[in-house]
Amino acid sequence: LAHGGQLRGLWEEGVRVFRGMPYAQAPRGALRFAAPLSVSPWSGVRDATAFAPMAPQLARSARADAPMLGGDDCLAVNVWAPTAEPGAHLPVMVWVHGGGFFRGATSEPLYDGASLARWGVVLVSVQYRLGIDGFLHFEGEEHAAPANRGLLDLLMALQWVRDHIHAWGGDAGRTTVFGQSAGAGALACLMGMPASRGLFQRAILQSPSVACQTLQEAAAARHAVAVLAGVEPTLAALGAAQQAAVLHAVHRLASEPALRQQHGLGGRNFFPLRPVVDGRVLTAPPLEALAQQWADQPPALQVLVGSNAQEMRLYHVPGGAIDRVTEAKVHAFAQDVGLNASAAQALRNMQPPAQQTPGEWLCALQSDYYYRVPAQRIAALAHRWARSAHGYEFTWPSPQWRGRLGAAHGVELPFVFGNLHTPTGQELTGPTPPAALAEALQQRWVAFARDGNPGWAPYAGAQPPVQHVGETLFCAPLTQPERFALWEGVL
């Protein structure tokens, strides 16, 4: 590395793999809620053959007595790199995983970077603090616990990439960040932060989850976690609480909408912890920050952004919740997010007749609000201010859950990483996903990372073209532009 220290990795099927390399000191003890501190240089050789622990969390389907997963020594990066000649300047892709800002890990086999590395890029994946460690806001105690610590972690990880990626033949001046869901939302936050300028030149945002909390919502979330964990809502009390109790409190709030509502977290808070607009780290919500920052200083940035056609089916189809939704619940959600009744009804009428049940209607509204409209807004902002913009819509219908899952949230991930036959990949796509679609999607993502051109027309004009990624791939004007117009003033 740049400071002289060395790392021992592995050769795996022609790819150089280095795992679990710390980019910051372990956030334990007095550092748990502090801004990240860089790792001190070392001499000699350090092992880099095993993943770091995931950030502390519970399994997705954890029961009340489920043990904690992960550990505090989680701030690490992993690198997959092809063979490279000395002096190579390979494009770099930096992956930021999703998971609602409270779960997720780079050790998930779905995110193995070998397949992308074989296309000739250096693939880096990054872990960051999650849950209360990364995103719970302690208003008035920012001297000890700055806001949005998970975002500060990502900034430090990108600085590590800038300083060290040349050791693998990567060109720090050709860095593409890419992420999905909360990972894409975190990147949208970074894109509106002046501190990120120059750390990456391109960004791929897959289903960006950009909703941030106000100070009032952040305070409600802190009080809710504290009440459920049985402690006071202070930095000292939550820091001293049993970590398992705190994790279970967050897990309950994430899985029980009525509990969130009871604690003052309305319908727009689909998960209990988010980045917070604190006025320092984040001065405005991402869409506003991008509009302000980019208008003042247009970025030398190229952006590829899109969403999936039926995002929220991931949350409403498994378990049958989609069939239990009432019209009252749909109206309550629309009211919570500020969408008037006539616009909500107009959006329902745009659905095919078979998809106008209350459950399908709620799925459509939430898909728009949480993911599809933000993606379109970012594409429009990038077209106006950035170097270039490209849009896509993922439409391949997963056959899972008797064909009802469709083009749900996250279904594109096994194709992007080429990891169709991992357990999560199979869960999302079924046993016989089209390998040709994975190859096509990887080729286009890597082409964008290489030179900013994924192979279809840029997002521009009154009817901007987007790439439709489904059983066939084609470029066509954005479908239902009037749908996005109905959200004006809300997003």
CA distance 150 to 182: 11
Q: Answer yes or no: are the C-beta atoms of 276 and 135 closer than 8 Å.
A: yes
SS3 letters across the chain: CCCCCEEECEEECCEEEEEEEECECCCCHHHCCCCCCECCCCCCEEECECCCCCCCECCCCCCCCCCCECCCCCCEEEEEECCCCCCCCEEEEEEECCCCCCCCCCCCHHHCCHHHHCCCCEEEEECCCCHHHHHCCCCCCCCCCCCCHHHHHHHHHHHHHHHHHHHHCEEEEEEEEEEECHHHHHHHHHHCCHHHCCCCCEEEEECCCCCCECHHHHHHHHHHHHHHHCCCCCHHHHHHCCHHHHHHHHHHHHHCHHHHHHCCCCCCCCCCCCCECCCCCCCCCHHHHHHHHHHHCCCCCEEEEEEECCCCHHHHCHHHHHHCCCHHHHHHHHHHHCCCHHHHHHHHHCCCHHHCCHHHHHHHHHHHHHHHHHHHHHHHHHHHHCCEEEEEEECCCECCCCCCCECCCCCCHHHHHCCCCCHHHHHHHCCCCCHHHHHHHHHHHHHHHHHCCCCCCCCCCCCCEEEEECCCEEEEECCCHHHHHCCCCCC
Is 409 noted as a catalytic residue in this protein?
Answer: yes
CA distance 479 to 464: 9
Is 181 noted as a catalytic residue in this protein?
Answer: yes
Of 97, 164, 409, 468, catalytic: 409
Of 107, 125, 181, 196, catalytic: 181
Of 217, 311, 360, 393, catalytic: 311
List residues with catalytic annotation.
181, 311, 409
